[in-house]
Amino acid sequence: MVNLYQNIIHAKQEGQKLLAVLIDPEKIDVENIPSFFKKVHQSITTHIFVGGSTDINNDTEKVVLAIKKVTKLPVILFPGDVKQITNKADAILFLSLISGRNPEYLIEQQIAAAPILKNSSLEILPTGYILIDGEKETATQKVSNTKPIAQKNIELILNTALAGEFSGKKLIYLEAGSGAKVPVNEEIIKTISDELSIPLIIGGGIRSKKQLDKAFNAGADLVVIGTAFENDESFFNHIKLN
Ligand code: 1GP
């Protein structure tokens, strides 16, 4: 079986940057998946994330199956709650919302997920998930009932990320929130990536090639983009493979 984490580590060592397209099962029409993936395959996309803060219609498995039919790119679950787990994906970001103090998202959901994951073939990627203020109240903040860390509070962001690494997380994800007005700034990305030994994921509010390059150059190992593709698929034209 492919070890996705080893591939991410290998990419980090080689300085190869990774891009995940985030697909929210509530926002994509399954019929559009084949044409959407034609564009994905012509782009620098390396991973597919599937998830959202909510999945009211329980569409995650249907969407993952439709994606797996048309791509060989690794599909990683990015679940908002335990109900979004499906064995049809390749891996799961096993998230703990370590910027928040809500036990539901620090450990309760993880306990509920444990027996499901024990019997699944999903690769588990323990991830410290840190909400950063993107100047817009996002679904994640509402659903998790937690407050993001202000961008100016770099010390707290850094110490939270380090606490995540020292507790055994394999990835740290700095999240400005889907549709954030302002993405995580370069100073934060640089400070955290310089101090962490594990790979750093950045997402939320990245809508242009310039913002993507800034995040990569500042030290992001993997960038996640969702809204920019949902709003306008022509964004793929800016991130074409050479
Ligand atoms: C959200 O980080 C992801 O969880 C992506 O955010 O939708 O703003 O690209 P956007």
Q: What is the pLDDT along the chain (242 residues), one digit of tens a residue?
A: 679 999 999 999 999 999 999 999 999 999 999 999 999 999 999 999 999 888 888 899 999 999 999 999 999 999 999 999 999 999 999 999 999 999 999 999 999 999 999 999 999 999 999 999 999 998 999 999 999 999 999 999 999 999 999 999 999 999 999 999 999 999 999 999 999 999 999 999 999 999 999 999 999 999 999 999 998 999 999 999 98
What contacts 194, CB < 8 A, 6 or more positions away? Answer: 219
Q: Alpha helix (H) ranges present in 43-146?
A: 60-70, 103, 109-118, 139-144
Give pLDDT tens digits for 39-67. 999 999 999 999 988 888 889 999 999 99
Going by the annotation, the residues of the binding site for sn-glycerol 1-phosphate are 173-179, 204-205, 226-227
Reported ipTM:
0.97
Q: Closest ligand 1 atom to the C-alpha of 228?
A: 9
Closest residue to atom 2 of ligand 1, CA basis = 203
Sign, CA torsion 188/194/198/200? positive
Closest residue to atom 1 of ligand 1, CA basis = 178
Ligand 1 pocket member 131 (CB < 6 A)? no
83's enclosing H/E stretch is none
What are 173's strand-pairing partners? 129, 201
Residue 203, SS3 per DSSP: strand
Q: Which domains does the chain have, with CATH numbers?
A: 17-237 (3.20.20.390)
